Amino acid sequence: MKLLRTVALVSICGLLGGCNAVVLSPSGDIALQQRDLLIEATILMLLIIVPVMITTVVFAWRYRQSNKTAVYQPDWDHSTYLELMIWSLPLLIIICLGAITWASTHLLDPYRPLSRITSDQPVPEDTRPLRVEVVALDWKWLFIYPDFGVATVNDLAAPVDQPIEFRITSSSVMNSFYVPALAGQIYAMPAMQTQLKAVINSPGVYEGFSANYSGAGFSGMHFTFRGLDDADFKSWIAEAKTQGTPLDRAAYLQLERPSENEPVHRYSGADATLFKAIVELCVEPSKMCTSEMGAIDAKGGLGITGLANLMPLEYDKYARRGAVFGSAPSYVASLCTPEDPVGSKPDAPFSPVPDTARLVGAGLPRPSFTPLPSMPAALPIAHHRSSSS
């Protein structure tokens, strides 16, 4: 039995040795600060958890049934010292956790521009961040470099010690952009744009993936993130410009179709307006952008005169994902009215009713009414009108 226990412990240690604790050993300053926050919060919580676990064992052992020396006090019900310790210590820890959380929530806001490269290196004033536009597709990642006019699929690179500015969206369903060595995960949502400011401090090849389930090909939705020095990054951009074809809107619509385990490929050019069109759901030329839709709403909405605009508003998300479910698309193409009766004259002038007197029924006489002596004068008239109608 002892040998079996030893073999089991050694096996567990071997399995743990194969784990890559990248969250606790990141290579980016933002991820490093998040790691420190995680450790600080854990230590503060352990200040309560560990003493409680120890005292639970001590009390169970001291006041066991076989211990006759333990003092038995059935009438004891209060201790000011214990009450102060039980309530004050957790309260102080909660205050500390709240202060740390409040400060880190603002300092590590993914939309906040970076103020430092490392703990002892601030961001120079003339530093221009690397802009990367990220699109979560089914089931792959598209990265557009608007400053360089190139794009890649499942391959991301950035210079070391240069701030990176990610703008993130999705083509159909919600995903989560996550590079554990770089920073925390940020959701990618259709028709919306999220942001992430980060920096990589060490050269290397890191793993990126989607941390939110998004369908059948989710398990293969991985990409490579490369931290390169300036010379290698320029070579990487130059290589991308010499490979593949330009990424225009027609090429994007083909790329947008669902595919699993997509290999890495690059585009030598990218449409400068593509990312904005993806966010606003109007990559296809016949579709109306959400900004245009908002402009229509700001002017009072569609109304009857704007019904012709309903056709471009349809976004066929089901076909994008290759699904067979969903209702068939329908559009309001034109307005129509009930057919005129046969023999009618639409252009004939309107003829009013000759007799404008009130109708009292099919030849029935007007009902009689005798007001009560105490009834106000205005009430008989009102009642008479009601009964005669």
Provide the pLDDT for residue 7.
60
Compute the distance between CA of residue 141 and CA of residue 264 in angstroms, rounded to an integer.
10
Instruction: Give the model confidence (pLDDT) of 105-132 as tens digits.
Output: 888 999 999 989 998 899 988 889 999 9
Domain boundaries, given as residue ranges, for the chain: 19-67+79-107, 121-279, 285-314
In the predicted structure, residue 162 carries a pLDDT above the cut 50: yes
Q: Of residues 324 and 234, which shows the higher confidence score? A: 234
Provide the pLDDT for residue 19.
58
Q: Please list, in sequence order, all residues whose beta carbon lies within 8 angstroms of the beta carbon of residue 183, skipping any fewer than 6 positions away.
A: 28, 30, 31, 34, 110, 196, 198
The SS3 of residue 140 is strand
Q: Do domains 19-67+79-107 and 121-279 have the same CATH topology?
A: no
Entry pTM? 0.70
Compute the distance between CA of residue 169 and CA of residue 136 in angstroms, rounded to an integer.
6
> Which single residue is written with the structure tokens 């003493």?
51
Asked if residue 252 lies in contact with residue 275, where contact means CB atoms within 8 angstroms, the answer is no
Instruction: Give the model confidence (pLDDT) of 247-261 as tens digits.
Output: 999 999 999 999 999
In the predicted structure, residue 389 carries a pLDDT above the cut 50: no
Provide the pLDDT for residue 215.
86
CATH 2.60.40.420 correct for 121-279 = yes
Mean of pLDDT values over 372-378? 49
Burial class (CB in 10 A: 0-12, 13-18, 19+), 297: exposed
Instruction: Give the model confidence (pLDDT) of 20-78 as tens digits.
Output: 678 888 889 999 999 999 999 999 999 989 988 999 999 889 888 888 888 888 788 88
Instruction: Give the model confidence (pLDDT) of 69-93 as tens digits.
Output: 888 887 888 888 888 888 888 899 9
Provide the pLDDT for residue 350.
46
Provide the pLDDT for residue 385.
41
- What is the band of 198 on the pLDDT scale with cuts at 50, 70, 90? very high
Give the mean pLDDT of the chain: 79
- First CA to last CA distance, the chain: 100
Q: What is the CATH number of domain 19-67+79-107?
A: 1.10.287
Mean of pLDDT values over 226-239? 93
Q: Of residues 158 and 59, which shows the higher confidence score? A: 158
Instruction: Give the model confidence (pLDDT) of 272-325 as tens digits.
Output: 999 999 999 989 887 888 888 777 776 656 666 555 555 555 565 555 555 555
The SS3 of residue 71 is coil
- What is the band of 380 on the pLDDT scale with cuts at 50, 70, 90? very low
Provide the pLDDT for residue 357.
55
Asked if residue 182 lies in contact with residue 198, where contact means CB atoms within 8 angstroms, the answer is yes
Provide the pLDDT for residue 74.
78
- What is the band of 362 on the pLDDT scale with cuts at 50, 70, 90? low
